[in-house]
Amino acid sequence: MFKIILFASFVVCIVADPPDINEYHRRRNTLSRNELRLTVGGNMTLSDKESEVNNCIMQLKFQEIDYAFDHPRYYNFSQHYFKYKDTMRKRRLYQILKVMPKGALLHVHDMSLLGPDYLMNITYMQDLYVCLYKETVGFRFSSKTPNAPCKGKWQDISKVRSSVENVTKFDEELRKHFTLVVDDPDTVYGCITDTWTKFMDYFLTVDPLLTYRPVWEKYFYDALMKFREDNVLYVEFRSVLPSLYELDGTAFDPVVTAKAYRKVIRKFVKDYPDFIGAKLIYAPSRRVNRSVLSTYLQIAKDVKNDMPDIFAGFDLVGQEDLGEPLIEFAPQLLEASESLDYFFHAGETDWLGTLTDENLMDAILLGAKRIGHAYALAKHPLLLEEVIKNDIGLEINIISNAVLSLVRDVRNHPLSTFLSKGLPVVISSDDPGAWEAEPLTDDFYVAFVGAASRLADLRLLKQLALNSFTYSSLEDRQKIEALRRFKRNWDSFINNFKCPL
């Protein structure tokens, strides 16, 4: 019997067809083609002219990536963003993305829209007092010496400048309080706690400088101008709705702050009718109790009732690991979900199985329209399925995640996974002013060259821009108009494109 089995096996080996290398390549090409179709933009068809533009863009992209592959020590995106942000803007591919229409910006915070040079100009305004104490600095606009806490003493900043020996050095030191950018970020920001401590100090410093009402209105108008110049058509910004104040010390409630926003938005759209507009997401601190949250939710409802044209929804912000998890507020948030749309920060963490990580679950169950960051989402297969099933937009802020110590080499950012799975990704910038980034171009460039596949092309860029309108809070008719304007701008970009090669 044993001999018969051996003979049968021998016969099978003789008559079986040998492996076919052509069939192997056919199957391999099919796998590769089908995988590419799954990616964001993978099923998009380019016009002949778009294909010409794409050929140029991909040559430039291949040059950058292939050089880095052969010379990994010079690969920008394995370093800290502060190390390469200035040199990347000299790249020809970056210059193309700078003029490319990028759609809408859906995740950005109002206190960090513009950079330190803009803030330094504010310090040259009249009626500004400064409080200098050791390494801290405070500001307050006032018609007289401010009646506000100050560990040192309040001084007219113009008199302080006139009294110092070296104004240039004084301004250089002052500017450091308006930015997170440093020469040696790996030493200064050794861990996430170090980064967030400086980040929170930044907001404490700029708050009284920006919330003087005339400054606030001009600042927001100038920010919209900066977005428009970066080829952004529409913005949804998050705000804690800080209390604005006047020179005499009069302070206003949050609804007045929202009205100031509406006033500026209307004026800007009137001045620049090609710009679609902006909407507010009320986003106060998550480090509160249930009683304070009830107050927040009522403010959100009041703003929505009074200004439905500019109100988008509600969020809770701050360092997620230190704030209260969403489950703590689930009863209140679930009840309020009948009248408010949610755009929750969730999963902005490296930790798995923590309450911070589980904010993703609660954001989904509470019906969030979009999720801010969603950094930890790739670790949750069932939650990924829920995001797809419920078509929840993912606001990805890749530079923010790198700067705020979640990831060093952006090739390891979960955006790579999100793009490969064709998830509803929207590229945003979070706090570009705080790290001296452009409103959206920097994030598009880092995402396209640093995180996306080497083969990802113009179809990805176009789809990301289209996604930003699809997952915006614009009404259906507004989305149609927004897409019409985007198409006009996109066609102009394509038809007037000149390859720099």
Active site residues: 348, 373
Cα–chain center distance at 6 = 66
Task: Answer yes or no: are the C-beta atoms of 148 and 140 closer than 8 Å.
Answer: yes
Which helix (DSSP H) or strand (DSSP E) does residue 75 occupy? none
Q: What is the Cα–Cα distance from 354 to 375, expressed in whole angstroms?
A: 14
| Count helices and strands in the chain by DSSP H and E runs | 21, 11
For residue 58, give both structure tokens.
Answer: 């991909």
Q: How far apart, in Å, do the first and last CA atoms of the chain sit?
A: 73
Q: How far is CA 161 from CA 132, 139, 141, 158, 164, in A?
A: 12, 14, 16, 5, 6
Task: Answer yes or no: are the C-beta atoms of 473 and 236 closer than 8 Å.
Answer: yes
Which helix (DSSP H) or strand (DSSP E) does residue 38 occupy? helix 21-38
Short-list 289, 279, 344, 207, CA closest to 479: 279
State the number of CA atoms in the 13 A half-sphere of 47 facing the CB: 7
Residue pointed to by tokens 């001084």: 155
For residue 417, give both structure tokens.
Answer: 């996974």
